[in-house]
Each structure stands twice: as structure tokens, then as C-alpha cells.
Amino acid sequence: MCGICGIYSFTGAKPALEKARAMAGAIMHRGPDDEGFYSASGAALGFRRLSILDLKLGHQPMLTPDEKCALVFNGEIYNHQSLREPFIKNGAAFKTHADSETLLHLLRAEGACALGKLSGMYGFAFFDSQAKTLLLARDHAGMKPVYYAVRGDELLFASELRALLAAGVEAELDPVSVAEYLQYGFLHAPRTILKNVWKLPPAHHLELKQGQPFTGAGPLKRHYDIPLSDDDMAGVPEAELMERLDAALNASVKAHLLSDVPVGVFLSGGVDSSLVAALTARHGSGTVQTFSIGFSGERALDESAAAKQMADYIGAQHHPLVLDGGVLARLPALLCALDEPIGDSAILPTLLLAKHTASRVKVALSGEGADELFAGYRRYKPAMLSWRVQNAPEFLRPLAAALARRMGSGSHYRNIPITSQWDWAQAGLQSRQEAVDALMAAPCGRDDSWFSFIEQGKGFNALLAFDMRSVMAEALLMKVDKATMQASIEARVPFLAPELINLALQMPPSCKQRHFKGKWILRKLSEKYIPRNLSWRRKHGFVGPWEKWIESDPEPVRAALAGGELARQGVLNAQALSAGLKNLAAGSRQEDKGLLYRASLLALWHQAVSQRRGN
């Protein structure tokens, strides 16, 4: 896991290497072990390395023997050993056993066509000085981000926004993006919170050639499609499906243990992370190191006991971290970790857990992704009801829908039957449009073009796939990436191997939601590896006690609003936000807590960015 950055010249000029050095310096936390640079006519590349594989020889930028092609690569390719075998048979000589060298050979031989062969997580830039081209790519699930911006005759790119800011890109908020962030809690790629700054969508790449025109987010292309089907495996016996899942999950965890440094596990005590921990103990060498977080005095949020039970069950060396209920008071001081605003209260606990973990290991496996693949969240209950309504005889559907809407509360239930991914997206909005508009300094339009970058489909699995491409990729995975990289450790996500995604999103819905219990087939499988009470334990979710913090009218937010920078840009209505926070602190139940929390995070984030640029 590393940090990449660079500059590509559309005219073929030689970019300033000092600018690439400044960009790399801004993301030193992503790679404290080593740095490297490359400069040629047409491009300058920078790299910060967190050494995981081939600790001595895996230096980047990686160059072809004739030095005509250069690669900076962030991530891991878990199947790289099998991918390099054909090159070895054809006489290619490899100097390292690093996956970056395998990728370099593959990209030179096949270009963007090679992307479909990769099983891993990545964000990389590949420059061909002879063809005068640059290839930027983000992995199939979106685990590793790539940001970019065009300024003049150059395109600047990096693993984090802060590197672009270090190169002189303006921290100008985009009003349309701000409104989207307030309503969803995150931003859908290719938009970012900054004007004319973009992010590659998951499973997309960008090919640039000198002299070709470039507008907006550029000519984005998809290199991996999520299979969308509710009935492709309808005739497959359940026992066979479970065997396939068992084999795929074991293979993925085993592959994710590829490392020349110690590997640990983030363990919450839920079925997903417990299963990952159990399979790590099965396929790894030595005693498993597990890491958990808990909240003293917050029983509804604390999962420490379940995590300890699982750690004891597999004989792990367990390292718990217990936080007090006022932990979010530390949020402003640690906001430098928030490279982009994400309205997830778990960002701070995740960062503190990552820092706690970094004292003992460099790599940690996570259970992220299982809820989207196997329908673990509560919102998938009304999704299942919608699916059943749509599959009922036509004359019964109105009555079935009316009954289903009475089985729960919230927008997802109110909108049954949800017949499209777009309806699903609107049902999942965090705040009403009029509430968002009231916090904006001026009316702004909407840009829903992001929807075209998500695989289109209908049915239950199509809704899961939509969540994978939206909230999972752009909120949950970005939270994990930014928090762990700030602590200089690598997080890996075995559930998001392409083989597992392909299998899970073709399984019948009834394998995932049964008797209103999510992740049914995964829970049944887990009984083979973990205590049964953990297999069927109710999902808690990894959140921080954000409500108490936002209800206190936090002084750092008031200071950020009074600072003037946010008001100067004329995007957020600082007075409306201040009034809402005061009303909330006075006990008002009319205010939208979540909206005020997201707006407060944005204010604090923008203040941190402004102060960093001022220094």
C-alpha cells in the first residue's frame, strides 16, 4: 500500500519534478518507508512506499528494462504470481518478486486490456514515453482512489486530494457537490467536493494521449462489470452454493495473506470479521493478531465482549482499544486524516483503531463488503419485500405492497415496491431536499450523471450492486483507506475478491434474506468456523456516539463558521448552520441531526484544508 502522484503534459513538455516532489511530500503518511521519482518529456511521477512485498527490491517508480515505460502503483495484486508465469516461460527476466513488476510487464504487453485479469486492489498510473500515453486505473471494487485535475496543459493525479492541493490546485468548493454530500453523506465519483477536481469511479480507467482533447472528467471507460442476476443460480442446490462460497472465501483469505510483513485482523465480533479471523488462523502462520475497538459507557455501541470471545476461540493474541463516550470531541484535532468529507461517524474510531493496530502490524484484514454482497443491512428487509411483491401474481401486487409497507418504518418501507435502482437511491437519501437547500447559500442545480457509471439492472441483486458502487465504494471503503493510510498501515478486504463478488451477486435472494435475517447463507457457513452465537448475533454496526457531540453545539464548529473562509466562498449558509446547532443544543426535535453533523464535518474539514494551505 502506497501513495502515488504525478503530472502528465498534454503537449509533451517536461513537467516540473519539484511539483511532483511537493505532491509526494503531502502523502508521506501513505508510504513512510521509501520514496521515488521519475521525470521524462511528457510526465513526472512520484511515489511514497509502505513496504509490504519484496522489502528490499520493490522500489518505485518501476521501469521497464529499456526505461521507456514507468509505473507507480498503490495496492496489491493477489494473483500476480500466476500472471507472471507466461512471461517467465517466454524468457522474461524479473528482478524482484514484487507484484508491481508483474503489473508493469502485463501493462506493457496488453495495455488496458490487462485490467480484466487483475484480482486485487489498486490505483495506478502507467506512462509509456514512446506512445506518449498515460493510463490511470482504479480497481474493480473501488478500494483504492485516484484523484485528478486538469490545470492548463497538464493533468495532475494522486492517491489523495491533499497531494493535488500541494501542487497548487485550488480548494474551491463545488456547490453542486456540497449539496450532494449533504444529502447522501458522500460523493459519487467522478465528482469530488472541489470544483473541477475528479475521482475515477470504481472499475474505471482513463487513457490519455498527447494532443487529444480533454473535457470534464475525461473519456472514462469501464473494465469490470458486476454480474446482475436474481435467477442465474436459482436451480443450483443450496448445499452446492454453500460449498462454492466456502471454497471462494477460503481462497480469498489465503490470497490476502500474501505479505512479507506481519498481518492482523480488524475484529468486531460480528459474523463477517469473525469469519475472516477464523480463516486467517486456518491459513496463516503463527498466532493471529486481532484488534478491536469498544466504547465505555455506550453498551449499544460496544462489541468488545463478542470480539474477545472470537479471539479466545481461535487462540488469537487480542489487542482491544476502549474509548470513552466523548471520543468525538477529538474529531477536530484529527481532521487532517479526513482527506475528503465523509459523513460517517465511524471515521474517527476507524482512525484510532488503525493507529492502535499500526504499533504491531503493517497489514490488517477487514470484513467490509459482506453486508452489501449478502444483504446484511436492515434496509435490505424492505428490499426483499419489494422483490417478493414484484414476483407475486399481478392481481395481488397492490394488496401485497400495501401490507409490506406496514411492516416497518422509514423511506425504504414507504416506497415499496421499489422497482428500480434510481428509486432505491432516492429512498436512501439521508436528508430532504428542502432541508439541504436551507443550508445552501444559494440555489444550485443537481448533477445525477454519476448514475451512468453504475451497472444498470433490476431485481434484488441489482440493489446490492448499486450499494457496492455507491455508499460502499465512496463512503465505507474511502473511510477505511483514508484512516488506515493516515496510520501507515494497509487494510485488505477479502470479501471483495472478484470471484466472491461474481458468486454472491448471482445467488438467489432467498439465500441472503430468510425469515428477515440477513446474510443467511454466510451465517450458515460460518457455523463451521466460529461459535454459533456469533454466527447469528444481531448486527450492531461500527459507529461513534456522534449524536451527543452534535447536540452540544461544538465550539470547534462555531469557530470554523466564524473563521470566514467558508462564508467567503459563498457555498454554505453559515448563519443557518449556526442557528440549527443552537436549536439542537436547546433541545429542538425539529432539526435534522444527521444533516447538521455532515455540514459541521464539512466546515471543520474545509477549515483544516485552509489552514494546511496557509502553512
Instruction: Kindly report which listed range (352-361, 429-438, 601-610) carries the lowest average pLDDT score.
Output: 601-610
Domain shared by 528 and 560, yes or no: no
Count of domains for the chain: 3
* Domain match, 525 and 588 both: no
3-state helix, strand, coil in the chain (%, to 5): 45, 15, 40
Helix axes 574-585 and 555-562, enclosed angle (nearest 10) = 160
Domain boundary among 535, 557, 578: 535
Cβ neighbour number for residue 4 with a 10 Å cutoff: 32
Sequential DSSP letters for 122-188: EEEEEEETTTTEEEEEE-SS--S--EEEEETTEEEEESSHHHHHHTT----B-HHHHHHHHHHSS--
Q: What integer pLDDT is reported at residue 442 of this predicted model?
A: 87
Per-residue model confidence as pLDDT tens digits over 247-285: 999 999 999 999 989 999 999 989 999 999 999 999 998
**pLDDT of 378 above 70:** yes
Residues 212 and 271 in one domain: no
Residue 300 has pLDDT above 60, yes or no: no
Do residue 290 and residue 334 come from a single domain?
Answer: yes
* Count of alpha carbons within 13 angstroms of residue 325, beta-carbon side: 9
9 and 142 part of one domain:
yes
Does one domain contain both 513 and 572? Answer: no
Is 531 part of any domain? yes
Which pLDDT value is given to residue 541? 59
**Domain harbouring 47, CATH code:** 3.60.20.10
CA 504/CA 372 separation, integer angstroms: 10
CATH of the domain at 289: 3.40.50.620
* Tens digits of residue pLDDT in 83-139: 999 999 998 889 998 999 999 999 999 999 999 999 999 999 999 999 999 999 999
Q: Cis link prior to 175 (omega < 30° from 0)?
A: no
Which domain-ending residue is among 535, 559, 577?
Answer: 535
Domain annotation covers residue 79: yes
Give bridge partners of residue 3 from the DSSP assignment.
48
Judging by DSSP bridges, how do beta strands 263-266 and 289-296 pair with one another? parallel
Question: What are the CA-CA distances from residue 372 to residues 144, 467, 505, 560 (Å)?
Answer: 18, 7, 9, 36
At 545 the pLDDT is 61
Q: Do 491 and 552 have their domain in common?
A: no
Same domain for 198 and 309, yes or no, is: no
Q: Is residue 514 a part of any domain in this protein?
A: yes
Angle at 139 between CA 135 and CA 140, to 5 degrees: 125
* Whole-number average pLDDT of the chain: 91
- Within 8 A by CB and 6+ apart from 485, the residues are 1, 3, 29, 30, 159, 160
Residue 399 lies in a domain: no
| Domain match, 6 and 124 both | yes
Rg (CA), the chain: 24
Q: Check residue 540 and give its pLDDT.
A: 66
Query: Which of 202, 80, 188, 223 shows the shortest CA–CA distance to 143?
Result: 202
Q: Which residue range is the domain that position 472 belongs to?
A: 238-374+467-535
Q: What SS3 string covers 289-330?
A: EEEEEEEECCCCCCCHHHHHHHHHHCCCEEEEEEEECCHHHH
Q: Quick check: is 444 in a domain?
A: no
CA distance 448 to 547: 30
Q: Taking Cα atoms as reference points, which of 163, 125, 138, 127 lies closest to residue 31?
A: 163
In a domain, 437, yes or no: no
pLDDT band at residue 141 using 50, 70 and 90 as cut-offs: very high
Residue 214 — very low, low, confident or very high, per pLDDT cuts 50/70/90? confident
In a domain, 441, yes or no: no
Q: Is residue 579 domain-resident?
A: yes
pTM of the model: 0.95
Query: Which of 500, 535, 570 finishes a domain?
Result: 535
Same domain, 202 and 331: no
User: Are 286 and 154 within one domain?
Assistant: no
Helix (H) or strand (E) segment spanning residue 7:
strand 2-9
| Distance between CA atoms of residues 610 and 171, nearest Å | 8
Q: Which three cell numbers stand for residue 204?
A: 474505471
Residue 546, pLDDT above cutoff 60: yes
Query: Residue 105's pLDDT is what?
Result: 96
Examine the domain organization and report whether 58 and 199 are in the same domain.
yes
